[in-house]
Amino acid sequence: MTRSRHSLIRWPLVLLVVGLAMLVSASFGDDDGSGNTGAVPPSVFIRSPEDRSMMRSSSFEITGGLGGSVTTIEVFMDGTSLGPARRGAEPDEWRLPASSVSIVPGLHRISVTAVGEAGRDSAGSWIFMDPALPFEIVVEPSEATYEPGELDRDPDLLLLGDDVPLDLTVIAPPGISASTNARLTTGSLAKLSVNVRTETPGVYPITVVAVGPDGTERTATHTITITGDAPPAASGDPARVLFDDFEGPDLWTSTLTLTTNGSEATAELAGGGNPGGQRRMTHVMPGADDGENNPTQISVLHVFNGGGWDPGQDGPLSHIDFSEDAIEFEPPFGGAAIGAVFVVIQGGSTFIAPIYEDNAFTDTTWRTTRIEDLAPGDFLPAPGPDFSASGAPMTFGYNRSNTYRSGTLATLQHGIDNWTVELFGA
């Protein structure tokens, strides 16, 4: 398979307009005025006599036009049929009365299908019903899979609102460059271009943030999956890089693997990272009356769901480089430490690699730690993960833990940012 060095993916920003009905583009067949053209394929479109940026009523009439040889017209809301449309006043018109349409607040997809002697045609539109919201942005589809260089399934980013000026920013992982108009108004039309610079297959979340004049913020995320076999890496370069700056979405699964005396853990995306976002974690450690003999313990495994490595498909590994930024917030007592290790999961086993002295940190300012040339022998338990071509697929993550000996409650808060795994082919 020939792989393009730069895959250009464009997201057109499309104004969503709604009123008593919706207007979308569609094809037209030649029509003699009677609505019957024999073997001419059917065509259908949705008409809007009055354009608005948001739906103001939960009930409305949907109307449109048609061409070609049409026998039936069916209208759908979010994939559910609203029933057959009726013929309008003219032979090339149709309508679905308001008594057949009712929606709840939120984003909805309306589509219409025409069936005729020579085939079928369909058209669709979005509506958004919630006058309380100043604006909303939605990516459709929220996820897409591309072969490198494939451009025919670009998603649309829909802006909804009543003439609201917005500041837009785009958050993309390394290997992706993204740009858009720095400022625009809902009701205008703009384009957002995303250039996928990497040839490496993987999952790439791209988030668009829109901020209104009153500070109201909305986000929309599109997750791109690039498929195919990884190309040979240039000498000295990693074959694949897994990265998260914790700007969203949350690509992690947290599992409590050890808890005593009712210890609990939570994790959430937050601001105040190094810079931007971070993943902030909290360990709640109840006290134990008998101290040394009954310590309160907790261990949490955090697994990255945004990509991995399959030696059987991607090839053997020579080594792994790992780095992360870590911090502890307001330690409950002097010397309070957060246990921390890098994790590889393979074949149902969890392997850990030390990244800090004594496998813990106590830093109350952001600390960047980088470990290079990790080989199987650097992991526990021995002999470590299998980097060879016969090895099982691998996923990656990190672990955080605490052991606490006291009769009082302690809450330990800590963060992680710029989590990076660099995978080097053998």
Judge if 137 and 122 occupy the same domain.
no
The CATH number covering residue 220 comes to 2.60.40.10
User: Where a domain ends, among 173, 200, 234?
Assistant: 234
Are 39 and 102 in the same domain? Answer: yes
The residue out of 199, 234, 269 marking a domain boundary is 234
Within this chain, do residues 151 and 266 fall inside the same structural domain, yes or no?
no
Predicted confidence band at 53 (pLDDT cuts at 50, 70, 90)? very low
Is 325 found in the same domain as 383?
Answer: yes
Per-residue pLDDT tens digits for 335-359 = 899 999 999 999 999 999 999 988 9
- C-beta separation of 106 from 151 below 8 A: no
pLDDT of residue 149: 58
Per-residue pLDDT of 83-122, as tens digits, reads: 898 888 887 888 888 888 888 877 788 889 999 888 889 8
Q: Report cis status (omega within 30 of 0) of the bond before 231.
A: no
| Residue 153 within any structural domain of the chain | yes
Residue 107 included in any domain: yes
Phi, psi of 311 (to 5 degrees): -55, -30
71 within a domain of the structure (yes/no): yes
Residue 186 placed within a domain:
yes
Q: Is residue 2 part of a domain?
A: no
Examine residue 311 and say whether the peptide bond preceding it is cis (omega within 30 degrees of 0): no
Q: CB count, 10 Å around CB of 1?
A: 9
The answer to whether residues 186 and 203 belong to one domain is yes
Q: Looking at the domain assignment, is residue 353 inside a domain?
A: yes
* Number of Cα atoms under 13 Å in the Cβ half of residue 239: 21
Residue pair 395/345 in contact (Cβ under 8 Å)? The answer is: yes
340 and 419, same domain (yes or no): yes
Strands (E), 305-409: 317-329, 338-346, 349-354, 360-361, 367-374, 394-404
Answer whether residue 416 shows pLDDT above 80. Answer: yes
Peptide bond into 385 cis (omega under 30): no
Task: Indicate whether 391 pLDDT > 80.
Answer: yes
Do 259 and 170 lie in one domain? The reply is: no
For 256-301, what is each residue's pLDDT tens digit? 999 999 999 999 999 999 998 999 999 999 988 665 678 999 999 9
Q: Which two tokens stand for residue 342?
A: 């890098």
Same domain, residue pair 193 and 338? no
Residues 182, 306 share a domain: no
Are residues 375 and 286 located together in one domain of the fold?
Answer: yes
Among 129, 161, 186, residue at a domain's last position: 129
Give the CATH number, domain containing residue 392: 2.60.120
Residue 221 and residue 266 in one domain: no
Structural domain that includes position 229: 7-14+131-234
Specify the DSSP element, H or E, that contains 116: strand 106-116
Provide the residue type at 67 as one letter.
Answer: G
Q: Which strand (E) or helix (H) includes residue 312?
A: helix 311-314
Instruction: Assign 309 a pLDDT band (cuts: 50, 70, 90).
Output: very high
pLDDT more than 90, % of the chain: 39
Does residue 207 lie within any of the structural domains? yes
**Are 38 and 93 in the same domain?**
yes
**Number of domains, the chain:** 3
Residue 40 lies in a domain: yes
Burial class (CB in 10 A: 0-12, 13-18, 19+), 195: middle
